[in-house]
Amino acid sequence: MKEENIYNYCHIAGRTDIGCKRQANEDSMGNFETINGLAAVVCDGMGGHVGGATASRLAVEAIHGFLDGQYYEDPREAIGEAIDAANKAILHQAMIQPELQGMGSTCVLLLVRDSKVYIGHVGDSRVYLIRNRCIKQLTKDHSYVQMLVDMGQLTNEQAEHHPRKNEITNALGIANMKPATVLPDAILPEAG
């Protein structure tokens, strides 16, 4: 792997907020250097599910360990496999602690390598690109309403107010989790 100083062009900061509707914050996040590049991960424990905070914490820890354990030539493959490892870690913990069965989390993972940013996700946590005073959503929610939008049955505006807008169709902690969506094109960081 080529040596590079990723801090010359990449700064990571994070903050979570409990919001107005929840009693507890079930979010976890982390950023760390790994043999696969600089990783940044945000996981949102599934609200209302037992162990959401545990699931999101386990996901961040599993992703960190996975990305530091084996080098992948293709960063996109590393992302998909790391998210799958997080799912397996959550399922394993739920198996040995039955009181945590049903816990889950969304996940977004960014991996910076060779001056490019690679992105993967599961659930409805989003990645936005802010550039030149414009905000662009890069990920597409794994949700019931997004499926309806994709089929042309709802507009984006209707989806925002739909009674099932918070129903996700894929997440960590599901035995038959679909593979993570990994964006095919990397983002090139630039100032601004």
This prediction has a pTM of: 0.89
- Residue 165 in domain: no
CATH of the domain at 34: 3.60.40.10
- Residue 89 in domain: yes
- Residue 191 in domain: no
Report the number of distinct structural domains present in the chain. 1
Nearest to 90 by CA among 125, 53, 143: 53
> For the chain, what percent of residues have pLDDT higher than 70?
85
Q: Are 64 and 39 in contact (CB under 8 A)?
A: yes
Each residue's pLDDT tens digit, 70-117: 999 999 999 999 999 999 999 999 999 999 989 999 999 999 999 899
| Structural domain span for residue 118 | 6-138+171-182
Give the C-alpha distances (Å, rounded to integers) separating 103 from 51, 66, 85, 93, 119.
5, 21, 16, 10, 24
Each residue's pLDDT tens digit, 143-154: 999 999 999 999
Element (H, E) at 78: helix 75-96
- Residue 160 in domain: no
**pLDDT confidence tier of residue 19, bands split at 50, 70 and 90:** low
